[in-house]
């Protein structure tokens, strides 16, 4: 690579720019403010009930800490109820397009999943992401607890949608563990 050479700017200075004439009135519409620009780039904030719920579960270790804190559990359940009441009947959970996908568990009271997450250190590992993979058209639901770098505990099951808001789950295959 060639060395860089810095030359004083005296000999290569461009001529000073000519002043820009200013009109008495604006010819173009005023550009949007910076705040409006950034609001357009980023999604809006979650509704207050959702933000409250996310704040309440943030330090609960996917639900492990909630087991010993009945008042926090009551607050979380109350917040879930408030979130459901924000728009009753809208966006029901049994619509295949909205329900199908891979979902990351943030919080649960489901004892079997919490047992595995809590006791992973006994197997000289730690639980990574806890996922639920839902395929409504295929009728499949898989619960996956990952153990980085390459392990996983998987429970395979079937789902049956009963509109408007009920989804039944049934374990159909044995659980598998690969560490």
140 in the same domain as 104: yes
114 in the same domain as 66: no
108 in the same domain as 97: yes
How confident is the model over 128-151, as pLDDT tens digits? 999 999 898 899 999 999 998 888
Average pLDDT over residues 3-25: 53
Q: Is 161 contained in some domain?
A: yes
Q: What percent of the chain shows pLDDT beyond 90?
A: 27
Q: Answer whether residue 31 shows pLDDT above 80.
A: no
Which two tokens mark 99? 């329900």
pLDDT reported for residue 151: 87
165 in the same domain as 105: yes
Q: Answer whether residue 157 shows pLDDT above 70.
A: yes
pLDDT reported for residue 40: 61
Domain boundary pick from 32, 57, 90:
90
Gyration radius of the chain over CA positions: 27
Number of domains, the chain: 2
Between the ranges 10-14, 17-21, 112-116, where is the mean pLDDT highest? 112-116
99 in the same domain as 83: no
Q: Which residues pair with 155 in a beta bridge?
A: 143
Q: How confident is the model at residue 76 (pLDDT cuts 50, 70, 90)?
A: very high
137 in the same domain as 100: yes
Q: Is 104 contained in some domain?
A: yes
104 in the same domain as 84: no
Q: Is 29 contained in some domain?
A: no
Average pLDDT over residues 67-79: 92
Domain carrying residue 117: 92-178
Where would I find the beta strands (DSSP E) of the chain? 101-104, 130-135, 140-147, 151-162, 166-171, 176-178
> Quick check: 63 and 114 in contact, CB under 8 A?
yes
167 in the same domain as 128: yes
97 in the same domain as 77: no
- Within 8 A by CB and 6+ apart from 64, the residues are 114, 117, 118
Q: Is 69 contained in some domain?
A: yes
């Amino acid at each position: 690579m060639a060395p860089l050479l810095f030359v004083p700017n005296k000999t290569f200075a461009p001529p000073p720019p000519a002043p820009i004439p200013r009109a008495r009135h604006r010819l173009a519409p005023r550009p949007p403010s910076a705040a409006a620009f950034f609001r357009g780039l980023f999604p809006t904030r979650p509704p207050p009930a959702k933000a409250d719920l996310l704040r309440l579960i943030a330090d609960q270790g996917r639900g492990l800490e909630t087991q010993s804190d009945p008042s926090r559990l009551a607050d979380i359940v109350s917040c879930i109820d408030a979130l459901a009441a924000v728009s009753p009947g809208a966006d029901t959970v049994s619509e295949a397009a909205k329900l199908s996908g891979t979902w990351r568990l943030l919080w649960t009271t489901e004892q079997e999943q919490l047992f595995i997450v809590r006791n992973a250190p006994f197997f000289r590992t730690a639980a990574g992401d806890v996922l639920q993979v839902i395929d409504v058209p295929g009728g499949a639901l898989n619960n996956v607890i990952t153990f980085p770098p390459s392990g996983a505990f998987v429970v395979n099951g079937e789902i049956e949608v009963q509109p408007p808001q009920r989804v039944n789950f049934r374990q159909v295959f044995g659980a598998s563990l690969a560490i």
